Amino acid sequence: MSKSETAFKHWKDLPSTHLLGTGTPMCAGCGGLQSLHAIYDILGEKTVFVNAAGCMTLLSVYPFTPFRGSWLYTSMASAPAGAQGIRDALDILLEQERIPPDEDLDVVVLTGDGTAYGMGLSATSGAMERNLNFIYICYDNEGYGNTGQQYSGATPHAAKTATSKGPRGFSGFKKDLFSIWAAHKPSYVATIIGSEPLDLAQKIEKVKDMKGSRMLISLAPCPPGWLFDPKDSIEIGKLAVKTGVWPLKEYIDGEVVHTKIPRKRIPVEEYLKEQGRFSHLFKPKRNEKLLSELQAKIDEYWEGIE
């Protein structure tokens, strides 16, 4: 038996919705992969993933994918257009009774933040405008991870990236993609994170039973991009929620609801100091001004919510 036949036999023997995390060239401690595991366990194998170029593209090595369902690879800007084509084809096959209803698939777009916050934003806007019946998952590692962590529209203020190496880090501010998406009034928008599996699971269960455009942004702690030890990935994710950096919320029926309000928010520096991309805020000297600006932005967000 050849090497690839042996690998294929191993994959075939796995439980039907198990997503392979080994044997693929992904980093240990990848927060994006962590949330994708949980999402796929709930969505199940009747899915077709439409993946824009990014880290998760490396999951699939032709002709294999770690998914039981199907996988389509697209350019960065065009995953929602790919999803439209697949949805239309499925609808025609169903209407003409060329496939039975139980062979229908959920169409799931999977992209990084470089695509979701930037290159793919207009295609996504158009898809929501047409109320495309699909799920969109953005794993947000706050940079162009696959090409060496250049800054993107999701990079937080002051973070060092491959293209913001100065003493103050990134001079821009993270776009509020949740609000941009919610302004389109799709069926659903939510933020999630793999380190809060219960909140994540409740939201995925909810979108599974809905129709229309269902949009999810998962903050994805990224050891090589954010510069921390892979073993701390879950803790970094938890700190993002406890400090209020990553609010867990959903938009549904015109309302925004926070699904987990940190009881007693802890200072943002507890989150920042764990990551090498923010080390210039602490060494060689604490940058009090920038640290208090970052804290003030978070306090401003939570005012009136807590």
- Using CB under 5 A as the binding rule, whether residue 145 contacts Mg ion is answered as yes
Round to whole Å and give the CA distance between 204 and 14: 23
Q: Tell the residue number behind the tokens 């209803």, with chain if given.
A: 101
CB atoms < 10 A from the CB of 89, how many? Answer: 11
Round to whole Å and give the CA distance between 151 and 227: 14
- Judge contact between 226 and 276, C-beta under 8 A: yes
DSSP string, 167-225: TT---S----HHHHHHTT--SEEEEEETT-HHHHHHHHHHHHT--SEEEEEEE---III
Residues that bind ligand SF4 (CB under 6 A): 26-27, 30, 32-33, 55, 141, 145, 220, 222-225
- Least spacing, CB of residue 75 vs ligand SF4, in Å: 18
- Using CB under 5 A as the binding rule, whether residue 112 contacts Mg ion is answered as yes
Taking CB under 6 A as the criterion, which residues in 143-172 touch ligand TPP? 144-147, 152
- Using CB under 6 A as the binding rule, whether residue 69 contacts ligand TPP is answered as no
- Judge contact between 247 and 189, C-beta under 8 A: no
- Using CB under 6 A as the binding rule, whether residue 122 contacts ligand TPP is answered as no
Structure tokens at 102: 């139980």
Q: Residue of minimal CB distance from Mg ion? A: 112
Q: Compute the half-sphere exposure of residue 136: CA atoms within 13 Å on the CB side of its CA.
A: 40
Of 26 and 291, CB closest to ligand SF4: 26
Q: Which of 111, 164, 195, 213 binds ligand TPP (CB under 6 A)?
A: 111
- In the list ligand TPP, Mg ion, ligand SF4, none, the entry touching 27 (Cβ below 5 to 8 angstroms by class) is ligand SF4
Of 54 and 244, CB closest to ligand TPP: 54
Q: Which of 43, 51, 113, 251 binds ligand TPP (CB under 6 A)?
A: 113
Cβ contacts of residue 278 below 8 Å, gap of 6+? 158, 159, 160, 169, 272
- Least spacing, CB of residue 142 vs Mg ion, in Å: 7
Round to whole Å and give the CA distance between 279 and 113: 23
- In the list ligand TPP, ligand SF4, Mg ion, none, the entry touching 213 (Cβ below 5 to 8 angstroms by class) is none
- In the list Mg ion, ligand TPP, ligand SF4, none, the entry touching 292 (Cβ below 5 to 8 angstroms by class) is none
- Using CB under 6 A as the binding rule, whether residue 54 contacts ligand TPP is answered as yes
Residues that bind ligand TPP (CB under 6 A): 53-55, 75-76, 111-115, 141, 144-147, 152
